[in-house]
């Protein structure tokens, strides 16, 4: 396995139009360094803040995420109070990492923190995830993906699996506290990453540092791109880019997923690919293609604005 330290572009003063033309539609990652400065969270959120404000809050955390890399949802595992968990975060080491508090819906668990992450950067619009859809199941799945999620981890804690985000969505990661390493692979490298047969957006390789090359020989040809996200930086991970993380210090991040005309085709493929019954797969493709075409037409003014601005 090779890896290189990749100088992912870091931009500031990036207008929405520049973002759309240079990164969103070309599906190219970027780090924007100056959009979170006004967030009260940047001043307030520390591990100690969560301990002080929410010390008695109870939740369950999976102690061995590598053994049960379930991507979303941590309802099983050991019960912690926030105070106990933050003590683990502060004492966390590479050898004995704290469990990872991740993918928790911010507004559900911490409604009082809503104003701390405003104003939201403009790049998340339009977002078709929270909209109404004719097919109830589609609406349920997409609406669920629209939530802003919170992550808190300690040094050595890690996201449990190399993956790309489900339903073909883009991910935006807003990093508030500490230092977090990202390990990223572009979609072209998928043949080397062994998508799991059960969930095509999760890799079957659980330990990227010590991969079983007898079982996963093509992984030797994969090239990881690694970079560190610093406090105040926002990372755009486009649809179908494989990624995972590891914390270099206590860390706090929030994320949001986005679906719109720039990645709707990824959603259509993702859904069609995951339907075993060919008829259902075909029907999903037809319905979703129509739903996307209608929304693209509705948002035509937005597209015109993006492309008619002088370069």
Ligand X SMILES: O=C(O)CCC(=O)C(=O)O
- Closest approach, Cβ 65 to ligand X, in A, equals 11
The Cα–Cα gap between 240 and 186 comes to 8
Q: Is 243 one of the binding residues for ligand X (CB under 6 A)?
A: yes
Q: Name the residue whose CB lies closest to ligand X.
A: 245
Choose between 55 and 130: whose C-beta lies nearer to ligand X: 130
Angle at Cα 43 formed by Cα 41 and Cα 46, nearest 5°? 75
Pure H helices in the chain: 16-19, 40-44, 47-54, 82-91, 106-109, 136-144, 264-273, 278-298, 300-308
The Cα–Cα gap between 29 and 23 comes to 6
Choose between 123 and 172: whose C-beta lies nearer to ligand X: 172
Q: Is 253 one of the binding residues for ligand X (CB under 6 A)?
A: yes
Choose between 86 and 229: whose C-beta lies nearer to ligand X: 229
Out of 47, 80, 88, 165, name the contact with ligand X by CB under 6 A: 165
* Sign of the C-alpha dihedral computed for residues 108, 114, 116 and 117 taken in this order: positive
Residue 284: count other Cβ atoms within 10 Å of its Cβ. 22
Torsion of CA 74, 80, 82, 87, to 10 degrees: -110
Q: Are 195 and 203 in contact (CB under 8 A)?
A: yes
Out of 159, 177, 242, 270, name the contact with ligand X by CB under 6 A: 159
Choose between 255 and 284: whose C-beta lies nearer to ligand X: 255
Beta-bridge partner residues of 185: 242
Choose between 150 and 306: whose C-beta lies nearer to ligand X: 150
Q: Is 183 one of the binding residues for ligand X (CB under 6 A)?
A: no
Stretch that binds ligand X, among 106-114, 127-135, 165-173, 272-280 (CB under 6 A): 165-173
Q: Is 262 one of the binding residues for ligand X (CB under 6 A)?
A: no
- Total residues contacting ligand X by CB under 6 A comes to 10
- Closest approach, Cβ 193 to ligand X, in A, equals 15
Out of 103, 127, 249, 274, name the contact with ligand X by CB under 6 A: 103
Choose between 138 and 234: whose C-beta lies nearer to ligand X: 234
Torsion of CA 136, 138, 142, 144, to 10 degrees: 50
- Closest approach, Cβ 180 to ligand X, in A, equals 6
Q: What is the DSSP letter of 156?
A: T
- Closest approach, Cβ 94 to ligand X, in A, equals 16
Chain residues binding ligand X by CB under 6 A are: 103, 151, 159, 165, 171, 173, 243, 245, 253, 255
């Amino acid at each position: 396995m090779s890896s290189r330290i990749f100088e992912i572009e870091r931009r500031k003063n990036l207008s929405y139009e520049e973002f759309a033309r240079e990164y969103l539609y070309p599906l190219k990652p970027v780090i924007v360094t100056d959009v979170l400065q006004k967030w009260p969270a940047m001043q307030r959120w520390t591990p100690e803040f969560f301990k002080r404000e929410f010390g008695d809050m109870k939740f369950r955390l999976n102690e061995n995420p590598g053994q049960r890399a379930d991507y979303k949802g941590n309802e099983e595992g050991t019960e912690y109070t926030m105070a106990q968990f933050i003590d683990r975060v502060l004492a966390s080491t590479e050898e004995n990492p704290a469990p990872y508090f991740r993918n928790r819906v911010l507004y559900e668990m911490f409604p009082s923190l809503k104003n701390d992450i405003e104003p939201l950067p403009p790049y998340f619009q339009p977002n078709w995830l929270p909209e109404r859809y004719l097919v109830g199941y589609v609406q349920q799945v997409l609406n669920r993906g629209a939530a802003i999620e919170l992550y808190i981890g300690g040094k050595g804690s890690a996201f449990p699996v190399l993956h790309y985000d489900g339903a073909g969505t883009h991910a935006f990661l807003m990093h508030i506290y500490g230092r977090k390493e990202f390990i990223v692979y572009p979609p072209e490298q998928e043949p080397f990453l062994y998508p799991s047969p059960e969930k095509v957006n999760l890799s079957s390789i659980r330990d990227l540092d010590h991969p079983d090359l007898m079982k996963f020989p093509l992984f030797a040809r994969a090239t990881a791109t690694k970079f560190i996200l610093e406090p105040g930086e926002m990372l755009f991970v486009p649809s179908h880019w494989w990624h995972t993380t590891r914390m270099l210090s206590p860390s706090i991040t929030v994320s949001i997923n986005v679906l719109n005309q720039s990645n709707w085709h990824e959603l259509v493929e993702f859904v069609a690919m995951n339907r075993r019954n060919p008829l259902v797969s075909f029907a999903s493709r037809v319905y979703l293609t129509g739903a996307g075409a209608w929304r693209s037409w509705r948002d035509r003014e937005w597209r015109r604005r993006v492309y008619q601005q002088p370069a």
